[in-house]
Structure 1
Amino acid sequence: MNNRQLFLQHVAQTSDAPLALEIEKAEGMYMWDAHGKRYLDLIAGISVCNVGHCHPAVVEAIQYQAQQYMHLLVYGEFVQSPQVAFATMLTQHLPENLSSVYFTNSGAEAIEGAMKLAKRYTGRTEIAAFNRSYHGSTQGALSILGDEYWRNAYRPLLPGIQHLEYNDFSSLELITNQTAAVIAESVQGEGGVIVPQREWIHALRNKCTETGALLILDEVQCGLGRNGTLWAFEQHDIVPDVLILGKALGGGMPLGAFIASHDIMWSLTNNPVLGHITTFGGHPVNCAAGLAGFKALLHEELIKDVKAKEQVFLQHLKHPAIKAVRSLGLMMAVELESFEVNKKVIDYCISKGVLTDWFLFASECMRIAPPLIIKEEEIKWACSVICEGLEKVLEK
């Protein structure tokens, strides 16, 4: 059997039609398959590789830390310098109340921890989330995920969950003094890049403050510069009680985090002790990689050009078949007529060496979320391939 056959036979599958590209190397903006074909990456591993694939500083940090020590003991018992250094640097670039970092293995695990934290701190049991929201695929995260198609097959899920409408003022009335937390994406990702109205998200922040519910903002996809500021919530001019990070946080390695005030986070330490624990969360190699990636993001000033690069995309994504382009920075949804048209264009792009895909709750939309290092000429070429694909698909 060749590798593709072994992949289908022995690696558990998530769909009956995986892309099954056999990638042998990735660097910067590009990936190369087993036949030497090069692909421009327009999705950054779903918003993971913000500083590009295999950034030299990240690779060096991984190699160095792996030689010092790897796993020592379950999270939180030993002082591990990569954890301390990364947590300290993150909090130096966050509002004062977001001062305590709990590292996890992924964004979904960070969501799970934040849900427990909200219940423990408030003493309440109800949690509100939003339709067309995505927060992960574990049982708790799935319970708050905003689409019944994915939820229904796994019921019963967690009780006490209600789903509100994003950008809808009347939904906010469902937040009460029984609500432990409201969990919202700072920008809805899988819904097709839905940006909150400024007045609405301010009303959400105020409603949480009035009722004593914690406002948890999920920036797993949109955090760390993707929207043109380090954190998306900065553009909304609000501050959450708990921030969720993942994907790009590890610089390409698996890492997530939920971040709150020291006072809120302390509630996990007693009654019961070890209120939230993880074996590999905050792995020293992953934290070293994340710290190196974070430093690269800041020192190379990758964020300052995000808005300009967004405009280059918008200027060149011009075709009669494009119904709309929704974007905030380098997080974009190109809306087409249907999933069928979108999938054919995506397949055409891949055949021409441009990797893109679609959104879970907006399958008619093409996803564009490249590494932030993408150059103007690469943007123009990618847009030309997309428009060419539309021509080829629609002429048939």
Structure 2
Amino acid sequence: MNIEVRLIDNSKGKGIFATSYIPQGSILFEEEPLVACQFSWNATCKYEACDHCLRPLETAQNNVRRLTGISSLELPYPECCETKKEDITFCNLCAVKYCSELCRVQAFNQYHKVLCIQTSYRNNVHPLEQLEDAWKKIHYPPETSSIFLIVRLLAQTLQSSNKEHFTAQILNFCHRSVNEDAALAHKFLGEKFIGQVDSLRELLRNAIPNENIEHFLTPEGFQSLLALIGTNGQGVGTSPFSVWRDNVYKLNLSTQDKENIDNFIEKIYDDMFSHTGDFLNSEGVGLYKLQSCANHSCEPNAEIQFLHNNSKLSLIALKDIEPDEEICISYLDECNIERSRHSRRKTLMENYLFACECPKCLSQIEDPDVTSEEEMSECEIED
């Protein structure tokens, strides 16, 4: 790879730097997650995805029918849908769905052996189901993380043949729960959630074996894990309809057919927005070892994409990058990145516990420290 991870300083930590010239549009690297999971509310709303890699399990047509609420909608060019229903398989004990036998085996060997809930123990009585229900009651959509990242990390630790090595990988992520200088705790430990932290910890203790992971289940250890998933969790977006759309645009269509399909797709997106809102294809969240080393900038030179329609992450250069230039991404979504300096820094401090000093923030240092009502109404974060 034409990148490397370097230690910047003790306060900022690591960063990713280019080792040679990188042209705009290049894939800097691709990475599988250490662990990933679907958002709990997405699953409740019938977003069908592989329980391991988050690849969609529904066809493009079923996807748009669900998201538009139009059960009679028919997509042309069905050959452009890449969902392979014939490859879908299940855990033979708990009926969890996977996109392939490979994903089922990988999940079982990594963490599912510990977490498998036989169907006879379901109906909201199993501790894992109680834990998920408790999490959903304090984290309504749009979700930004999931308690099951912690669950799967701990289960993977228990199943690991080298528990010390895997624990070291977990601790290598930034897991600072407070910013002492700003006297601020991560939002998962703030006033909105602090009353639920001990309850979540006890539910977690009851849900999985405790041997060899007791240090993560102490109050301090659990708070550290909550901060870890809060500051490092990367949203994963997949969509069978988006794949269908891109494949249709590759077809050799006549001018009239292109115009017709453009209008058809635009109408579908309008219907989706009216019925479902903005959150159409955010399937879940993952932890990525290399991506977590990328620092934030409000003027990023790279962005994360999910080109394979699963949890495999691709980092793409947004502009030409020179040798020794730091590669930065935005931790903010498209809406928040356009907000005022004060609003951006406030969101970053609550979620990532740092005050941004990127070139854009430094150039706007004289701007007033206020948050406009328009910004709040357009881009309110629920979680």
Q: TM-score range by the shorter chain?
A: under 0.3
Relative contact order higher in (CA < 8 Å, ≥ 6 apart) = 2
TM-score by length of 2: 0.26
